[in-house]
Amino acid sequence: MSTVTTPRRSTPGAPGELQSVWLVAEREIGSKLRSKAFVISTAILVVAALASVLWGGFAARDAVGSGIPVAVTSQTQSALSGLEGIEATVADSDDAARALVEDDTVDAALVSGSSNPAFDYTVVVKDGVPGTLLQMLSETPPVESLEPGAGAADVLRYFIALGFGVVFLIAASTFGGTIAQSVVEEKQTRVVEILISAIPVRALLAGKVLGNTILAMAQILLLAAVAVVGLAVTDQIGVLGALGAPIAWFAIFFLFGFVLLASLFAAAAAMVSRQEDIGATTTPITMLVMAPYFLVIFFNDNPVVLTIMSYVPFSAPVGMPLRMYLGDAQWWEPVLSLLILIASCVAAIAIAARIYQNSLLRMGARVKLAEALRG
């Protein structure tokens, strides 16, 4: 049978609510930073991210250094003026330039004419768009593929989508799981009864969410800094310029998305009293965290799915930055998506606070959701 313990009233001289929130947040941050497993895993994640960026950057720079074979005509030759790392072959005509691409003499050809009024030439490729060449051009020109297939641009899109998905999955699941384990541990050891005799229940919840949000955001910003440094060291200014705004928006979306998920993790964990039962209530939330990762893996080239993802609160931190990188999002779309996410975050916090407060002191059997909401 479930039992309920009534907390004592706050004693005179007890800390205020804001001070209580910060005390709990400090406790969460301190316990995590003292964990060798957390410090080592963070260091490994940072080193792996830096190694990936440096490897990709140096590989791209080596490709530029070896010279990209490109066919041009007398009309399009001026488009490559001033660009280093390109071995230009002047063809007699557009058809001759296309023929050089067909027989693999060159990787691409610049021919006259364009479907975009901003350009007077088109890049012709056989089956894959040379991503390095497009970076070297100030803007992306129209591309005509003689044998359409998965080119460098598709591969780059896939890895950037995978990067957003992996970072969101690791950070949200790691710190969300930490919150859940902390809540159940305090219930199981009855420490929570001592805590809420001194501070309000809502301050305890807010402190846990705040502390883990600070840690999660610090990890996100650290990874962003690693990416910027790696791209700058390898002279990948083009990629850095293209990823700058999406990374910034990813951090903003992640902030509110994580607060939403962290609140739900804490509420779900408060409904059980044993570590073994955590999965019974947190599995649905874990599935919500994993969904964006799998969606961007399988549907990163599907504009309809990405558009839907960018407006669903649980997947917007991944979907919207990816659409911004691809250039598919209008200027007002991230603002609208963020407003939807913030509104969802407020609603989730209100529901989670009610569940948390009504379940925290219920010991024994798992508290049903309807009971937790009813109080």
pLDDT at 150 (0 to 100): 47
Does 62 fall in a domain?
A: no
Looking at the domain assignment, is residue 338 inside a domain? yes
Say whether both 145 and 157 belong to one domain: no
Residues 92 and 159 in one domain: no
Q: What is the pLDDT of residue 288?
A: 92
pLDDT of residue 258: 95
**Co-location of 249 and 350 in the same domain:** yes
Domain final position from 149, 173, 203: 149
Task: Give the count of domains, the chain.
Answer: 2
Q: Would residue 212 count as lying in a domain? A: yes
* Residue 161 domain-assigned (yes or no): yes
Residues 209 and 310 in one domain: yes
Q: Are residue 90 and residue 42 in the same domain, yes or no?
A: no
Looking at the structure, do residues 252 and 370 belong to the same domain, yes or no?
A: yes
What is residue 235's predicted lDDT score, i.e. its pLDDT?
Answer: 72
> Residues 243, 329: one domain?
yes
- Domain assignment of residue 117, given as a range: 68-149
Query: Quick one: CA dihedral 217, 302, 283, 162, positive or negative?
Result: negative
Residue 41 located in a structural domain: yes
Q: 44 with 131, same domain?
A: no
Residue 63: inside a domain, yes or no? Answer: no
- Interatomic CA distance for residues 50 and 231, integer angstroms: 9
User: Reduced to 3 states, what is the DSSP secondary structure of residue 328?
Assistant: coil
| 202 and 181 within one domain | yes
Q: Where is the domain boundary, 92, 122, 149?
A: 149
Residues of the chain falling short of pLDDT 70: 1-14, 56-67, 82-85, 115-118, 128-156, 237-239, 375
Q: Are residues 198 and 297 in the same domain?
A: yes
Asked whether residue 92 falls in the same domain as residue 53, the answer is no
Residues 240 and 361 placed together within one structural domain of the fold: yes
pTM summary value: 0.73
- Residue at 136 is within a domain: yes
- What integer pLDDT is reported at residue 21 of this predicted model? 92
- Note whether residue 353 is domain-resident: yes
Ordered alpha helix ranges (H), the chain: 17-33, 36-66, 94-102, 131-136, 152-188, 191-195, 201-233, 237-270, 278-299, 303-309, 316-326, 333-359, 369-374
Q: Which of 149, 182, 199 is the last residue of a domain?
A: 149
Q: How many residues does the chain have?
A: 375
Structure tokens, 218: 């610090």
